[in-house]
Amino acid sequence: MDACGCNGLTAMFDRRIAERDRDRYHRHGPDRTTRMLLDLIGRHRVGGATVLDIGAGIGVVDRELLRAGAGHAVLVEASPAYLQVARQEAREAGVLDRVTFIDGDFVALAADIGPADIVTLDRVVCCYPDVDALVGLSAARASSLCGLVVPRDRWFARAAVRILNLGSRLRGRAYRTYVHPNARIDALAAANGLWPRAEGATFIWRVVVYERR
């Protein structure tokens, strides 16, 4: 497994999972927490904005923000299967010319990725072991807003993650899930000039949008 865990991630998020996510999106639209993130971002000016979507999956956040008036999106994804489906979805939505696709680990590639008005990490931080690098580098590239969906730092979330990781170990999978301290995430955002502007939650997930003041 590589340092970021991307080998395990690639094996976990394969073509079958990518197509399942695509079909669910076509039937029901964005997942609940993704919709919450989009709604919080939508309270601010989206028209003409640039978007950097890190760990973008099939590109739901990108397409929804482009539909809302964003000008261009950069989609970074370490799973080749997800990236392939995201490109196909962008083509079918007629926005392929407004999306730049980057294949790989954002942290490893960050030096070559420029800033954007809106940076998003939708259920991505929980897939990455090095929270300091991922959140710090992401926040540094947010010119205006940075939106995250992360597990709430609560005992029940940590218990659920322990069960999930035990299942992965028993199946011989390298992929692991993480509950990073929410206070640490806030501190990393603050160190890069970002402060919580709007927030919501479900039983497991915290949805927060930081703003550069």
| Pairing mode of beta strands 194-201, 205-212 | antiparallel
Per-residue 3-state assignment (H helix, E strand, C coil) for the chain = CCCCCHHHHHHHCCHHHHHHHHHHHHHHCCCHHHHHHHHHHHCCCCCCCEEEEECCCCCHHHHHHHHCCCCEEEEEECCHHHHHHHHHHHHHHCCHHHEEEEECCHHHHHHHCCCEEEEEEECCHHHCCCHHHHHHHHHHCEEEEEEEEEECCCHHHHHHHHHHHHHHHHCCCCCCCCCCCHHHHHHHHHHCCEEEEEEEECCCEEEEEEEEC
Query: Is residue 163 assigned to a domain?
Result: yes
Number of structural domains in the chain: 1
The pLDDT mean for the chain works out to: 93
CATH number where 58 lies: 3.40.50.150
Query: Is residue 174 assigned to a domain?
Result: yes
Q: How confident is the model at residue 120 (pLDDT cuts 50, 70, 90)?
A: very high
Give me the domain span that covers residue 36.
6-212
Q: Is the pTM of this model over 0.75?
A: yes
> Residues 99-114: what's their mean pLDDT?
97
> Residues 96-106: what's their mean pLDDT?
97
Query: Is residue 63 assigned to a domain?
Result: yes
Residues of the chain above pLDDT 90, percent: 83
Query: Is residue 1 assigned to a domain?
Result: no
What angle, rounded to 10 degrees, do the helices at 60-67 and 80-93 form? 20
> Residues 163-190: what's their mean pLDDT?
92
Strand partners, 103: 77
2 pLDDT higher than 70: no
3 pLDDT higher than 60: no
> Which tens digits make up the pLDDT trace of 10-42?
666 788 999 999 999 999 999 999 999 999 999
Contacts for 211 with CB less than 8 Å, ≥ 6 apart: 44, 144, 145, 194, 195, 196, 197
> Which tens digits make up the pLDDT trace of 56-75?
999 999 999 999 999 999 99
Count the residues in the chain: 213
Query: Is residue 104 assigned to a domain?
Result: yes
Taking CB atoms within 8 Å and a gap of at least 24, the contacts of 28-33 are 30/60, 30/61, 30/64, 31/60, 32/202, 33/122, 33/123, 33/149, 33/202, 33/205, 33/207
Query: Is residue 131 assigned to a domain?
Result: yes
Query: Is residue 56 assigned to a domain?
Result: yes
Higher pLDDT, 45 or 198: 198
